[in-house]
Amino acid sequence: MEEFLQWGLDCVRQIQTLATPGLTLCMRAITNIGSIAAYMILIPFIYWCVDEKKGLRLAVVLIISVWINLALKFLLNQPRPFFEAYDPSVGMTSEKMGGFPSGHAQNSLVMWMIIASWGLIPRLSRTGHFCIAAFLCLLIGFSRIYLGVHFPTDVLGGWLLGGLILAVYFIAGNRIEALLESHSPRAGLIASAAIAFAMNMYRPSEDMLIPGGVILGLGIGCFLCRRYIKFNASLNNRTGMDKRLALLVRFALGITAMVLLYVASGKAIAGMRNSGNYPLYFFSRWVLLAIWFSAGAPWVFCKLRLV
C-alpha cells in the first residue's frame, strides 16, 4: 500500500507543476461542483421546479452514497497527500477525514450519471448526455488530485464504488420505488425510520448523523406530502413567462428559507455542544431541514398558489 501512496504522491507533485493562479481558481470552482453544498442547491431545484419524484429519488440515492462513503472513510482511515507523514506542501485546501474513497468522485458520478439518464436536453442524444456527465466527473476527480487532497487511488476507488451504487440503482431502483408506492405512505415512513436507525448505529459522530437525519426527514416529509399536500412540481396549467416566474419564486422562497433554517438551527445548537444531548440536537437539525425540503416548502408553494 505504501508504494501505491508514494506513487500517488509523485503524481500529485507532477500535476501541480502545471499550477498557475488561474488554473487553481478554476480547479477550486470545479471541485465545488462536486460538493455537498452544491447538491443542497441542485436537488431542491429539481424537486421543487422540475420533477418531485426524480428529485426525491436522487436525494435518497445520493444520501445513501454519502453514508457509504463516510462509513468507509472511518473504517479504513486512509491518509491524504497533505498529511504530515507525506507532503503538507501539496495541500491547496484542507480536509479533516481520511481520504479513501474520494467522496467528490463517488458522489459526483452517482449524481450526474443519474441526471444524465433523464435526458433533460431535448436535442441532445442519450450518449451525449452521458458523455457530458462523464467529462464533468473526470474534471471533478482531477481537481481533487490537483488540489492535493486525494491520491489517484482515492479517486479511482470513489469512481468504482459510485459505479457499483449506480448499478444497483439502475437494476433495482424502479422495483424498490414501485414496492414503496404500492403500500401506504406510512410504509415509506417506517422504512426511512429503520434506515436512519441503522445508519446511526454504525458510528454516532456528527458527520455520520447527517445522512440518517436527512433520510428520516425525507420519510416524514414525503409522508406528509403524499397524505396531505399533494405537491406536483410541474406547472402544466401555465406557460411562458408566467411559468418561469412561478418557478423562480418557488426556488427563491424555498432556498432562502432553507438557508435561514440552516443558519438559525446551527446557532441554536452551538451553545449545546458540551451537552449530553448534543448529538440528538444535531440529528434533529438535519431532520428539520429535510422536512422543509420535502414538505414544508411544497406546502408554502401550494398556499401561495405557485402550483
Does the pLDDT at position 204 exceed 70?
A: no
Q: Taking the CA of residue 86 as centre, how many other CA atoms within 13 Å lie in the half-sphere pointing to its CB?
A: 24
Answer yes or no: do 144 and 253 share one domain. no
Residue 14 has pLDDT above 90, yes or no: yes
Mean pLDDT of 80-93: 85
> What pLDDT score does 247 carry?
93
Query: For the residues 40-61, what does the mean pLDDT come to?
Result: 94
pLDDT of residue 273: 81
178 pLDDT exceeds 80? no
Residue 126 maps to a domain: yes
Is position 290 within any domain? yes
What is the pLDDT of the chain when averaged over all its residues?
Answer: 90
Domain finish residue from 149, 173, 197: 173
- Domain boundary residue among 139, 173, 207? 173
Q: Is 208 exposed, middle or buried (0-12, 13-18, 19+ CB in 10 A)?
A: buried
- Domain shared by 213 and 277, yes or no: yes
Contact yes or no for 47/222 (Cβ under 8 A): no
Q: Do 54 and 196 have their domain in common?
A: no
Distances (CA, A) of 40 to 36, 88, 166, 226, 259: 6, 31, 20, 22, 10
Same domain, 162 and 249: no
Q: pLDDT at position 182, please?
A: 67
In a domain, 178, yes or no: no
**Is residue 1 situated within a structural domain?**
yes
Are 299 and 210 in the same domain? Answer: yes
Residue 79 near residue 85 (C-beta atoms within 8 A): yes
Looking at the structure, tell me whether residues 108 and 217 fall in a common domain. Answer: no
pLDDT value of position 83: 86
In a domain, 8, yes or no: yes
pLDDT-based confidence at 281, cuts 50/70/90? Answer: very high
Residues 224 and 115 in one domain: no
- Which grid coordinates are listed for 40? 443542497
* Domain limits for position 8: 1-88+96-173
Asked whether residue 218 falls in the same domain as residue 111, the answer is: no
Sign of CA dihedral 197, 199, 202, 208: negative
pTM of the shown model: 0.92
Under the banding of pLDDT at 50, 70 and 90, the label for residue 235 is: confident
**300 confidence band (pLDDT: 50, 70, 90):** very high
| Cα 63 from Cα 214, distance rounded (Å) | 8
Give the pLDDT of residue 67. 95
Identify the residue with better confidence: 122 or 292. 292
Please give the average per-residue pLDDT across 125-135, as a whole number. Answer: 93
Instruction: Please give the pLDDT value at position 238.
Output: 76
Strands (E), the chain: none
Compare 130 and 271 and report the one with higher pLDDT: 130
Residues 205 and 108 in one domain: no
Total structural domains within the chain: 2
152, 173, 194 — which closes off a domain? 173
pLDDT at residue 180, rounded to an integer: 64
Residue 45 shares a structural domain with residue 163: yes
Mean pLDDT of 47-72: 94
Q: Which of the four pLDDT bands, split at 50, 70 and 90, describes residue 130?
A: very high
Which pLDDT belongs to residue 111? 95
Same domain, 204 and 151: no
User: Which of 98-107, 187-196, 208-217 has the weakest average pLDDT?
Assistant: 187-196
Dihedral over alpha carbons 40, 45, 46, 51 (to 10 degrees) = 140
Q: What percent of the chain has pLDDT over 70?
A: 98
Same-domain check for residues 202 and 296:
yes
Over residues 233-241, the mean pLDDT reads 82
- pLDDT at site 149: 93
- Residue 45 clears pLDDT 90, i.e. is over it: yes
pLDDT at site 205: 75
Does any domain span residue 204? yes
CA 88 to centroid of chain Cα atoms: 28
The pLDDT confidence band at residue 234, using thresholds 50, 70 and 90, is confident
pLDDT number for residue 147? 95
